[in-house]
Amino acid sequence: MMYEGISHKCGYNDCYCLDSDELRVNLHVNRHVTKAVLIWEDPYISGISGVYSWDGKPLEMTVSRELLFENIYSATVRPPYRRIQYYFLLTFDDGGSRILLEDGLYDPSFINRLDMARHFFKFAWMNESDICRPPQWAENTVWYQIFPDRFARVEDGCGAAFEKWDDVFVKNHKCLYGGNLTGVMSRLDYLSDLGVTGIYFNPIFKSQANHRYDTTDYEIIDPVFGTNAEFKEFVRTAHRRGIKIMIDAVFNHSGTEFFAWRDVLEKGRDSKYFDWYYVNDPDRLRKKGNTKDGRFYSFAFVAEMPKLNTNNPEVVNYFTGVCRNWIRDFDIDGIRFDVGNEISHQFIKHLHKELKKEKPDLFLLGEIWTDSAPYLEGDEYDSVMNYPFMQSLGNFFTDRQLDADDFKRKMNYCYSLYKEQINRVLFNQLDSHDVSRIINRAGSYDVFIQELTILMTMPGTPCLYYGTEIALEGENDPCNRRPMPWKDIDAGKYQSVTADVKRLIEIRKSSVLASSADLVWCDPPVCSSRDPGGTEKDHRSRLIHYRRGHDGRCGIFINAGDAEVELSSVGEVLFARKYDEGRLKAGGVLVAIM
């Protein structure tokens, strides 16, 4: 028997409340474990009259996630008294068995040793305040990310010098195109028709750069973009259309023209805001160039973005007030936190507590590119930008040595990181302002549609970066931030692409997929396949097949291989590309009721 790789923690993502009644228990094991049974009961129930000899009742666990080097077994229980005591009984592939207690593995006979201390696992109480409850509305939202300077511009007569909107090849990082709120307002019909139900804005507050991540005033909408009154009216108009609004909060750092940093520059250590930042050498604050010399800390080494000390109570209180005003003044529905894992836990906990008082269903989203579990215990962020999803998806289509099992394990990894209720609202995207556009990375329209189909049919809340619905091109910044080509869009140039995207959004919003975190991996019903030379082969290896929906009615097939594949037992077709009379061609997609 091999014991390595067997683990469980009573808490975190291994044992947690799904809701007020149900408790999820997860166990990590190596591949030599063939069966896992959860032995559980209320901790205060005795098994022998007059003698404390606790006995549990068995519940066989099922494999919920198959990963590269481990399996995760899961079980859901409904404790009648809102608490449980438990241990695990494991069976191995050689026929042997062991029990897992909190302090390790033992022979099963050890459980009857009344003369020995037995370290049972114990979930002490299902406290309401400890239950992770992301806003339910976020589960069914289809987000659309807008980079304000590049989405749409309606001339306002201000006379500012902007780049020509139709010059889509952005020359440098400083180009200003003058996208404005009036322009976004003029395209609300377009977004509604696309199926968008949530808009996420990159920063909209006053700053010096076109990206506006160097905020100079957190309470004034950038004059190039519009006014506070205009934004308030915009949110009201969007709400009438059923569209939620989320804005970007840049609290990891400020711009150099922010009042607190200006005061530090002027007064040095004598500034009352000196401790709002991480200043190591006040005498060199005005030195030009990056901050690799350590004179002060900044975002990355960007001197124009001095890092705020979010451990400082004054900083915490100031930005809590800023967010509170955003909610009261604009009635926003969500806040996305830039560089969300560099902000202190105590700051986000405080924000969560105070802002949920203002608006209980406010959606708090963290920008974190890696495993974000420490921020997702229920008292900080509600969700994070799911970059592991985007990266795992991209790696599968890039590396053609990977097969469908590799894809399954990569996706399972992404969904094994968090609680099930978090998986329902994970912010999934294929591209953003920080990476090259998906059509460039995909390399073909086939792969583009395949990835988009996966985005719209996997658990989580999908987000389109502006222009993805027309397969807008663009390598890394600044090219991935080119202006929307509205003349071509209005002329119908991208109708076929948009039609595909709209149909996938419709499916995502339908009752078939909505409000479901279920994900079931299936063996593809392959009859036969032929390579381009006409030779019959088994090309199942890169044929992805999974089912979604509460009853598993929605089947998704992605043929990422090189050969045409014959499928059987396919029902009503909801969406298809390169599929004809039961045969799915290489590069093809099929979404169907099974």
- Residues belonging to the active site: 338, 367
Q: Are the C-beta atoms of residues 436 and 476 closer than 8 Å to each other? A: yes
Give the 3-state secondary structure of residue 290: coil
Which residues have C-beta within 8 Å of that of residue 364, sequence separation ≥ 6? Answer: 334, 335, 337, 348, 351, 352, 355, 380, 381, 382, 383
Angle value at C-alpha 25, between 5 and 521, nearest 5 degrees: 75
Q: Are the C-beta atoms of residues 395 and 407 closer than 8 Å to each other? A: no
Q: Please, which contacts does 560-564 make with residues 24 or more away whose CB atoms are closer than 8 Å?
A: 560/396, 560/397, 560/404, 560/407, 560/447, 560/450, 560/587, 561/529, 561/586, 562/531, 562/532, 562/586, 563/529, 563/530, 563/531, 563/532, 563/537, 563/539, 564/529, 564/530
Indicate the helix (H) or strand (E) that contains 109: none
Q: Are the C-beta atoms of residues 469 and 194 closer than 8 Å to each other? A: yes
**Burial class of residue 558, CB neighbours in 10 A (0-12, 13-18, 19+):** buried
Give the 3-state secondary structure of residue 449: helix
At position 293, the amino acid (one-letter code) is D
| Residue 264 to residue 252: CA distance in whole angstroms | 17
Give the 3-state secondary structure of residue 398: helix
Q: Which residue has the tokens 């909209």?
A: 204
- What is the DSSP secondary-structure string of 492-514? TTTHHHHHHHHHHHHHHHSTTTT
Which residues have C-beta within 8 Å of that of residue 115, sequence separation ≥ 6? Answer: none
